[in-house]
Amino acid sequence: MRKKGRILVTTDKKPVRITDTTLRDGHQSLLATRMKLEHMLPIVEKIDNAGFHSAEVWGGATFDSCLRFLNEDPWERLRVLRRHFKKTKLQMLLRGQNVVGYKHYADDVLDEFIKYTVYNGLDIFRIFDALNDVRNMERAIRVVKQEGAHAQATVVYTISPVHDYDFYMSTAKELEQMGADSICLKDMAGILAPYPAYEIIKGWKETLSIPVQLHCHYTSGMASMAYLKAVEAGVDVIDCAISSMALQTSQPATESMVAALKDTPFDTGLDLGLLSEISDYFKEVRKQYAQFDNASKSVDTNVLQYQVPGGMISNFINQLKEQNALHKLPEVLAEVPRVRADFGYPPLVTPSSQIVGTQAAINVILGERYKMATNEVKNYMRGYYGRPPAPVNEEARKKIIGDEEPITCRPADLIEPELPKARQEAGPYMEKPEDVISVALFPQVAPQFLKERMAKKIKVDLELAAQGSEFYPA
């Protein structure tokens, strides 16, 4: 490496690749996961021609949102997007044994979900576990590979006394040995500082033989700096969103990173002109979701103190408003780190963020710690979400579940097969095998969706019959 004028020059050319998150994490972070398929399709061709490493289009909260709010079949969304994306690999976020839900599901549900997701056109599965319990990721990695797709294992980034450099090195190595095709560092709260980013990515590049990717949220304002240091450390891929759907609680802006790396050995090769056209499109689309657009207009440095992602603060505000206790928000934010320590320092990502956050709010509202606990908190203490990163506070555990002994096995080992029951429930309304998986994942929401879909189809058939057609002679 040498210096030429004021520009750093290296003999090793290593273009950095970019995963576009606009169609999944971008609108999940900024617009409450409400973007409809009809607003995605007109721009897909341009995204497809941009030259991205992959496009993240599915998983996370999109599956639930399609069924619950958008009256869309999530499987149909994936199929349609696959037809329109001719060149770009499609990627999803898989919550390990939680699949795309908020609890652990039986292995038969996980297996079928992965099988039909690959069948419907997905290429890359980003697999994570909220507690970084690799036991909850192992089966997903294995099945994804068996189905011929790419298994990207994920280490969730957080800061605590037990999440040190050695933790990140050993966890990534374990995931590589499980068969991961690539590894991702996932900073969901936007708390990864530039120099820790450099150290972890450099350590991974020196010890792993698989590609390394970095996913950050812009919440604290540090993500672009973290990306630049990660690039210097040798990261292979970074996650960005198009500028009109970036920053705030979303990812860094694609165009900014492309410009920052232009004419360096890391040059992405992406065309800023084409990216600008994509951004202009989403600028107009975003206006149509103004009622859901609650993203902060500036960075939120509170996250650096409390490690509370932006979405959690929104939930706190809603919870406290309902209890006429909004003035207690500072107390709740201060309680979060204490609850998190009691719970063994889980990273604050779905579902552990909801578990810790709700308990912190309850503690403050009732004025006594752990006087009442949600079922999710009880199950967490029973070990049903997996192994916490550090031992839990025994005094807190005893107050929450008494003398119950927590389990020590992989939680899914205790779950009976769930597809037979889902098959029964979906039965009268089932059109395809994927419907059974939808019911297994969301038994409170999916059956109603399937029922309404069938009613709509019958109505259309009757209208056609009334009009008379070649299929329905009058």
Rounded Cα distance between 387 and 281, Å, is: 44
| CA atoms of 329 and 312, how far apart (whole Å) | 12
- Tens digit of pLDDT at every position of the chain (474 positions): 444 444 444 446 789 999 999 999 999 999 989 999 999 999 999 999 999 999 999 999 999 999 999 999 999 999 999 999 999 999 999 999 999 998 999 999 999 999 999 999 999 999 999 999 999 999 999 999 999 999 999 999 999 999 999 999 999 999 999 999 999 999 998 999 999 999 999 999 999 999 999 999 999 999 999 999 999 999 999 999 999 999 988 999 999 999 999 999 999 999 999 999 999 999 999 999 999 887 667 787 878 887 876 667 767 777 788 888 889 888 998 999 999 999 999 998 888 988 999 999 999 999 999 999 999 999 999 999 999 999 999 999 999 999 999 999 999 999 999 999 999 999 889 999 999 999 999 999 999 999 999 988 887 777 777 776 554 444
The SS3 call for residue 9 is: strand
Q: Rounded CA gap, 326 and 129, in Å?
A: 32
pLDDT in the model for residue 2: 42
Token couple for 474? 């009058």
Residue 328 CB-density burial (10 A; 0-12 exposed, 13-18 middle, 19+ buried): middle
**Could you tell me which residues come within 8 angstroms of residue 215 by beta carbon, excluding any fewer than 6 positions away?**
19, 21, 126, 154, 184, 185, 186, 187, 188, 238, 239, 251
Helices (H), 269-309: 272-287, 302-306
Q: Which helix (H) or strand (E) holds 139?
A: helix 135-146
Q: What pLDDT is stored for residue 427 in this prediction?
A: 86
Per-residue pLDDT at 321 = 84
Distance CA 440, CA 437 (A): 5
How many other C-beta atoms are found inside a 10 Å radius of the C-beta of residue 209? 6
Closest by CA to 268, choosing from 21, 108, 52, is 52
Cis amide prior to 389 (ω within 30 degrees)? no
From first CA to last CA, the distance across the chain in angstroms is 80
